[in-house]
Amino acid sequence: MRIGITCYPTYGGSGVVATELGIELAARGHEVHFISYSQPFRLSGRDNGILYHEVPVSSYPLFEFPPYDLALASRMAEVAEFYKLDLLHVHYAIPHSVSALLARQMLAARGIRLPFVTTLHGTDITLVGLDRGYLPITRYAIQKSDGVTSISNYLKEKTLEDFEITRPIEVIPNFVNCDEYVPIKDGVARAKARLRLAKPDEAILMHLSNFRPVKRVVDVVKIFAGVVREVPAQLVLVGDGPDRSAAEWLAHDLQINDKVHFMGKQERVNELLPLADLMVMPSELESFGLAALEAMACKVPSIATRVGGVTELIDDGVTGLLYPVGNVEDMVAGAVGLLKDRDRLEAMRDAGRKTAQKRFCSSLVVPQYVKYYEQVLGAN
């Protein structure tokens, strides 16, 4: 198949899923065309079977807001026509599904067929999408998509309810490449790799996100402050975004900044994650929680919040520990308890890797997308 993919190319789960999907599809012999305003950050630019098409957004003195969604629609239509795309797959509804809808109509007028699939990721429904300024057009584009998938049952139900959607939505969960996200074998190799970040007797807590308010990065620092009072530890934060400065200030105010490491945006998170003992994901809301899944595949359990689709990923007490949002005290107690009980931690590490392998490996999930594309193409 020749598949066009549009996503936000910046640091964030929806872009990661879209990029990894493109890479996996290309590895299976499909021709993949990324269409976005810059190259998605996990693409090397040298990936076989993948082409990247930039969307130029020209400015004009009259435009206070250059119309990216229109430029995107034009580029989608061009790329689809020039490269004979079979299908377009857009990730994150706003504005991508609206642009795809326009591109489909533009091409239909020229006798060319371009079905499109919209994948809903989270705040496109739970936050931004609920904004009255966006809701009607987002609802329309979802309703008119040729196929719609969501990354969890939670998000599907939320979309059907809040957007009064009447069309079917297919749930296809987030996935991880279980051959690339692997634990480092215990022993000398792991100990040596960890030495870059911590002393042998110190635990490593890790957080990975785009540091938006919904991720509650300040809670991560608070949780760590409680843990390090009881257990020797270091905190490694991967990613960047609006709340980084608040978290840095808090680490200074609590005088733990020598143990808190802000690594910024990192491309090869699969090399960092296996070095951690625990992932900390105290989010206000997660429609799935890709960071926790990537950690799980590397045998790193999460201390997380019982929100949204997280319960579809983490089995509380078995593959991680779940708490109400903002309950820092209990999250500290849970983390300390696990770090002091190595047998329990080990059992959780193993159970997490098994869950990732059994349910969320790309080898299992990517074929679900391919099957869905075939279904959409067959129905058109």
Residues that bind ligand GMT (CB under 6 A): 12-15, 17, 121-123, 151, 174, 210, 214, 285-290
Name the E strands within 199-244.
Answer: 203-208, 233-238
Q: Please state the closest distance from residue 379 (CB atom) to ligand GMT, in A.
A: 25
Q: Of 73 and 281, which CB lies nearer to ligand GMT in the complex structure?
A: 281
Token pair belonging to 259: 């143990």
Query: Is 277:205 a contact under the CB 8 Å cutoff?
Result: yes
Q: Please state the closest distance from residue 123 (CB atom) to ligand GMT, in A.
A: 3
> Cα separation of 380 and 79, whole Å?
20
Q: Of 210 and 234, which CB lies nearer to ligand GMT in the complex structure?
A: 210
> Cα separation of 293 and 143, whole Å?
30
Q: Of 6 and 234, which CB lies nearer to ligand GMT in the complex structure?
A: 6
Q: Please state the closest distance from residue 104 (CB atom) to ligand GMT, in A.
A: 24
Q: Of 106 and 290, which CB lies nearer to ligand GMT in the complex structure?
A: 290
Q: Please state the closest distance from residue 347 (CB atom) to ligand GMT, in A.
A: 25
Name the E strands within 40-164.
Answer: 50-54, 87-91, 116-120, 147-150
Query: How would you class 122 by CB atoms within 10 Å of its CB: exposed for 0-12, middle for 13-18, buried for 19 or more?
Result: buried
DSSP state of 78: H
Q: Of 99 and 210, which CB lies nearer to ligand GMT in the complex structure?
A: 210
Q: Please state the closest distance from residue 310 (CB atom) to ligand GMT, in A.
A: 8
Q: Please state the closest distance from residue 128 (CB atom) to ligand GMT, in A.
A: 8
> Cα separation of 259 and 175, whole Å?
32
> Cα separation of 367 and 11, whole Å?
25
303, 304, 289: which is closest to 360 by C-alpha? Answer: 289
Q: Of 17 and 321, which CB lies nearer to ligand GMT in the complex structure?
A: 17
